[in-house]
Amino acid sequence: MDKKMKIRFFSVLSVCFVLSLFVALYPAQGKQMQGDDPHAKEALIVKGLISALEQLHYQPIVLDDEVSRKAYKAYLGSLDGGKRFLTLDEVNQLKVYETSIDEEFKNGTFEFFNLSVRLIDNGVERAKNIFPQFLDKPFDFNENESIIIDPDKVDYPANEEALKKYWKQLLKYEVLTKLQSKIEDQKKDGFEGEQKSVKVLEEETRAEVKKTFDDWFERLQKLRRADRFNEYVNSVSELFDPHTTYFDPKEKEDFDIGMSGRLEGIGARLQNEGEYTKIESIVPGGPAWKQKQLEVGDLIMKVSQDKVEFVDIRGMRVDDVVKYIRGKKGTNVTLQVKKADASIQEITIERDEVILDESFARSSILEQADVIDNIGYIRLPKFYADFERENGNSCAKDVAIEIEKLKRQNVKGIILDLRSNGGGSLRDVVDMSGLFIEEGPIVQVKSRNQAPQVLRDADPRVQYTGPLIVLVNNFSASASEILAAALQDYGRALIVGSASTFGKGTVQRFYDLDRLIRGNLEMKPLGEVKLTMQKFYRINGGSTQLKGVVPDVILPDNLMYLKLGEREYEYPMEWSEIAALSYNQKAYRLKNVQNIKQRSNERIAQDTVFQKIEKNALRLKEQRDLVSMPLSLNEYDTFIKVKEKQAKQFENIMKDNIPGFKVKNLDEDLAYIQVDSSRIARNDDWISNLKKDVYLKESLNLLRDMINYN
C-alpha cells in the first residue's frame, strides 16, 4: 500500500463511516434462535454486540462483576436518573441483579431487563396518576422550604408516600419558576397585556404545568421496549469508552441523516442525553450559528412555534423533536434550553436554509492600531472533504489557496482559527500540516495489537514560512488537535486558547451486525455498532486522548472552570504514550516562548475584558454547582433578581467593537462577496463579529512579540 493509499484508508476522524466485514461471526441459526422466544432478536443482537466488542474494540474489557456493577449504575441512571418514578424498594429489586448483568449478556437472558421494563412502566403510570392531585389547588409559596435540584444529591424515595412528597416539591418548583417570571413580566415597562393578580397568575400557571406534564407522560408511555433495550445494551458498550454505542436500525438512519445536516431548519445537530435533547453541533453558516445564542452542549427542554405555546420535549425521541424544530424558511421557532451553567434561556431562531459556503475556509486581513498591521486570518470551521468525487472539496486545498492569497497581500503573520472545529478528514490534517513544514511525520495511528502507522507529509514544499498562530478552544477536537499538536511539537506555531482542547484521540467506525451474523433473515435488520478502533498519537509519542493539546499561551474563557470535553465522560479511554518519532523542520522556529507567554500574562492581567471573562467563568461555575433552590416566592424572587443582577454585569462581554481593531476582506474576494445581498449580509456579519473578538486582539499582540523576538 503506497503512502497515498494509506492516508486515504485512515481518511475519516470525527465523521464515522461504515466498514463491512467479510467474515461472519455466527452461523445461520434462524429456527434455533427464533423458537417461541419473543426476545430472540434481542439475544442475537447482544451476542453480536459482545463478539464485536471483544474482537474489534481497540481496548476490550472483560465482562465481570465489576463491569456489571458499573452497567447497573449507568442503566439505572438512564432509566430513572431524576428519581421520579421508582421507589427504593423497587430499586432494591433491581439491585439483586447488580453483579449478574455480565452473565445475562453472555447467556442472552433478560431477567433483569424484563424486570426493569415492568417496574419503570408501572412507575410512569403511577406518577401519571400522582401528579394531577397536586395541581388542583393553589400551592403555599409562603412556606420556608427548599428543593434539591441535583438528582445525584437525592436518594430514591423510600416508599410511595415519599415519592408523592417529592412530586409535590417538583411541581411546586415548576409552578414557582413560571409564576415568578409572569409576575416580573407584568412589571416591565411597555407590558401591554392584562394586569392580573398573583392568585389568577398562579391558577393559570398550574393549568399550564398540568398540560405540560400531561403531554410529557403521554410521550413517556409511547416509549418502546426497543428504546429501553438500546439504553440497556449501551450501559455496557459505553463502559468500553463513551463513543462505542449500539444503534438500532432507526437510530442509525437518524444518525446518517444527522451527519448530513437533516436539521437544516435551524442548522443544528441533535442527540438524546437522558430525558433531554442535546445540541451536538451547530452547522457553520446555519440560522443557529448566525443567531449566536444556541451553543454546543445546550439541553433543549421545550419548543414553541412563533412563541405560541411551549411543548415539553423531555423524554421525546430525537426524530420526534425534529418535527417540532424543523419548519418553513422564514418562520420562527423558540427553544427553551438549559445552558452549561444550569441557567434557563429562551432562544428564538428564524428558520432558514444552511449556507454551505460559511462552512468552508475563508480569510481576511486584521490590524490593531499601534500594535501591528497586515496580519492574515484564516477561519476553518471543520476539516471537510468530499471523498465521493475525484476533485471534491478539500479543506487542505482551500487553506492552501487562502495562504497564497494572503501571501500576495504580503502579510506579516497568519492566525489559523480552529476554535470549535470538531474535526473531520485526517487526510486533510496531514496535507494541511504540510503547508507549514518540509516533509515529515504528522501523526501516529495505532490499531489494536498493531504497530503504529506513521502518516507523513511527503511534499517537501513549504507554502508558508512566516509566523503562525493556531487558535483553539475547549471544543477544538480530533483533527484540530492533531494539527495543533503536530505544529506545536515541531515548534512551528504558537498554540493559543483555552486551558486545553477537547481531548478526543480516538476514531470510530460502524459495523453492521447483519454482516457479522449469518442467516437469521427473519430477525434482520439488527442494527449497527459504532466501535472505537484506533487511537491517535502525537509525533512526540503522547496521545491527544483525554488531555487534549495544552496551548503555549492560555487565555481566560467563560467555561474555564467547568469540566468539559472528553474528561467530562465517566469512562473515557486513558491517556497513554508510545515511542516518539524523529522529526525536525527549518521553515520557521519559535523562539523565546516563555518571554512571549509572560508578556501575554501581563497584558491579560491588565485587560478589563479578560478580567470580566474570568469573573463570569467563576459565576457560571457557581451557578452550575447549585444544589438546592428555595420554594418560597419571596426567597426565590430575591434569589433570581440577585442572579440576574450578577449576569447583567457580563451581558456585554465582546459586544462592542475593539478600539483601533480593523478587519477587511481581501481585494480578490470582493467580487465573490458582492454577487448578491445575502453574501454581502453574511460577510458584514462575519466582519462585525471579528471586530469584537478579544482573542484575535491578543493574538495580534502575540504575533508582534513573535516577530520582535525572532
User: Which ranges of 241-317 would DSSP assign to H, the alpha helix?
Assistant: 249-259, 287-291
Helix (H/G/I), strand (E/B), else coil: 215? helix
478 carries an active-site annotation: yes
Helix (H) or strand (E) holding 407: helix 395-408
37 carries an active-site annotation: no
Distance CA(225)–CA(57), nearest Å, equals 27
Residue with C-alpha cell 418553513? Answer: 328
User: Which ranges of 561-676 would DSSP assign to H, the alpha helix?
Assistant: 593-606, 608-624, 633-648, 670-673
All cell numbers assigned to 24: 461472519
Contact criterion met (CB below 8 Å) for 510 and 18? yes
Q: Which residues pair with 346 in a beta bridge?
A: 336
Distance CA(516)–CA(526), nearest Å, equals 10
Distance CA(366)–CA(556), nearest Å, equals 22
Per DSSP bridges, beta strands 245-247 and 344-350 are: unpaired
Q: Which residues of 274-313 are buried (b: 16+ CB within 10 A; e: fewer)?
A: ebbbbbbbbbbbbbbbbbeebbbbbbbbbbbeeeeebbbb
Q: Which residues pair with 638 in a beta bridge?
A: none
Distance CA(205)–CA(660), nearest Å, equals 50
Other C-beta atoms closer than 10 Å to the C-beta of 328 total 8
Active-site residue identified among 504, 530, 535, 612: 504
Amino acid at 215: D
**HEC profile of 489-540:** HCCCCEEEECCCCCCCCEEEEEEEHHHHECCCHHHCCCCEEEEEEEEEECCC
Distance CA(707)–CA(695), nearest Å, equals 18
Active-site residue identified among 102, 398, 428, 489: 489
Q: Which residues pair with 394 in a beta bridge?
A: 385
All cell numbers assigned to 689: 463579529
Residue with C-alpha cell 455466527? Answer: 26
697 carries an active-site annotation: no
Distance CA(139)–CA(203), nearest Å, equals 10
Integer CA distances (angstroms), 593 to 527, 587, 588, 703, 707, in order:
51, 17, 13, 11, 12
Integer CA distances (angstroms), 641 to 614, 637, 644, 647, in order:
22, 6, 5, 10
Distance CA(79)–CA(70), nearest Å, equals 14
Helix (H) or strand (E) holding 245: strand 245-247
Q: Which residues pair with 553 in a beta bridge?
A: 496
Distance CA(678)–CA(597), nearest Å, equals 41
Other C-beta atoms closer than 10 Å to the C-beta of 669 total 16
> What sign does the CA torsion over 193, 197, 198, 201 have?
negative
Active-site residue identified among 281, 364, 425, 478: 478
Burial class (CB in 10 A: 0-12, 13-18, 19+), 188: exposed
Residue with C-alpha cell 392580573? Answer: 196
Per DSSP bridges, beta strands 414-417 and 372-379 are: parallel
All cell numbers assigned to 523: 430477525
All cell numbers assigned to 98: 447488580
Residues noted as catalytic:
478, 489, 504
